[in-house]
Chain A
Amino acid sequence: MSNLTTFDFSARAENTQGATRRETPLHHIIHPNAEMAKVAFNEVAFCAQLTLRGNPDNADFLAGVEKALGVALPLTPLTSHASDSYYVFWIGPNEWLILAPNLAPAAVEASLRAELTGHFAVVDVSGGQTLMTLSGEAVREVLQKSCGYDVEACFPVGKVVTTHFGKATVVLHHQIEGTYLMVVRRSFADYVWRWLEDASAEFGLMVKGA
């Protein structure tokens, strides 16, 4: 190896080529300072995610879930319920997505299985998808660029929609005013990140620590 102490790093930043603009191989990842970024991204790593299916007309099923999670299933389309430990999203008329950022998926599954009987399904899908949060003052503009869904007109806090982000199918949730949760399939996660990086370039993108 060469002796790095003798290498002149300042030559890299200086444009020594006259009118020709020099670019490093990674010039495209340079983003504005965190203070200037108008879109903030954060991956909520290893969040417990479970798909629950059952008959919403079965009172025992509804009561069992409420007893296990301490939060009732949202029965109105495109709504969600939240507690200190759980988010429960309406996905379809007999399907819900349970998120538990601070719990082990096996523990959530066990607590549901302890309370539920009869015809139901609970599947740990934590390994198959990941959870992201998007916030910042330009987050709505980025979502409007990326989703066909009308995020500005019909997306109040608490609502959940399954829709497209770029070409990926995502579950989008308006968590608190100006902060959105997005559930992305693991095989689409890199695509969504690259899309987001490009779509938010004009606003400045900041990656927040977990």
Chain B
Amino acid sequence: MLHLFCPYCQELREEDEFHYRGQAHIVRPKDPESLSDKEWGDYLFFRHNPKGIHHEMWYHVSGCRRFFNVTRNTVTYDIYETYKIGETPAVTAKEETE
């Protein structure tokens, strides 16, 4: 059972109250018409599957019903931070910053 800190409720809650909603920080292309099929396919269907630090969206469905982001380690299940939509993560994997 994960304990997640909801940045809107400002409180730790049990995993039961949340839904996982996939990879965070996916930006919709501004001009989809100009993309190749491969680029559009990448945007729609392909997601990172890192071993280690992962930024992901969670939904506080049985609480304040807001989406927020979580930086989680997919190996150890450590949660490094939770932050509101629109904010940038403080903890990033090495290859992301290079």
Chain A interfacial positions (CB closer than 8 Å to B): 77-78, 91-93, 95, 148-149, 154, 161-164, 169
Contact of A92 among B10, B17, B66 (CB under 8 A): B66
The binding surface of chain B is classed by DSSP as loop
For this complex, 22 residue pairs linking A to B, each with C-beta atoms less than 8 Å apart, are: A77-B8, A77-B10, A77-B11, A77-B64, A78-B10, A78-B11, A91-B65, A92-B65, A92-B66, A93-B64, A95-B65, A148-B14, A148-B16, A148-B17, A154-B11, A161-B9, A161-B11, A162-B63, A162-B64, A163-B13, A163-B17, A164-B16
Chain B interfacial positions (CB closer than 8 Å to A): 8-11, 13-14, 16-17, 62-66
* B16 proximity list for chain A (CB < 8 A): 148, 164
B62 lies within 8 A of A164 (CB): yes
* B10 proximity list for chain A (CB < 8 A): 77-78
The binding surface of chain A is classed by DSSP as strand
Known: A95-B65, A163-B17, A164-B17. 19 other contacts (CB 8 A): A77-B10, A77-B64, A91-B64, A92-B65, A93-B8, A93-B66, A95-B64, A148-B13, A148-B17, A149-B14, A154-B11, A161-B9, A161-B63, A162-B63, A162-B64, A163-B62, A163-B63, A164-B16, A164-B62
* B11 proximity list for chain A (CB < 8 A): 77-78, 154, 161
Residue ID in chain A nearest B8 by CB atoms:
A93
Once bound together, how far apart are the Cα atoms of A45 and B79, in whole Å? 43
Once bound together, how far apart are the Cα atoms of A161 and B62, in whole Å? 10
Residue ID in chain A nearest B65 by CB atoms:
A92
Cβ of B38 to closest chain A Cβ, rounded Å: 39
Cβ of A89 to closest chain B Cβ, rounded Å: 11
Cβ of B32 to closest chain A Cβ, rounded Å: 29
B9 lies within 8 A of A78 (CB): yes
Residue ID in chain A nearest B61 by CB atoms:
A169
Once bound together, how far apart are the Cα atoms of A149 and B15, in whole Å? 11
Cβ of B63 to closest chain A Cβ, rounded Å: 5
* A78 proximity list for chain B (CB < 8 A): 9-11
Residue ID in chain B nearest A92 by CB atoms:
B64
* A169 proximity list for chain B (CB < 8 A): 62
Once bound together, how far apart are the Cα atoms of A77 and B9, in whole Å? 5
B13 lies within 8 A of A149 (CB): yes
**Among all A-B residue pairs, the 3 with the closest Cβ atoms:** A92-B64, A148-B14, A169-B62
* B65 proximity list for chain A (CB < 8 A): 91-92, 95, 162
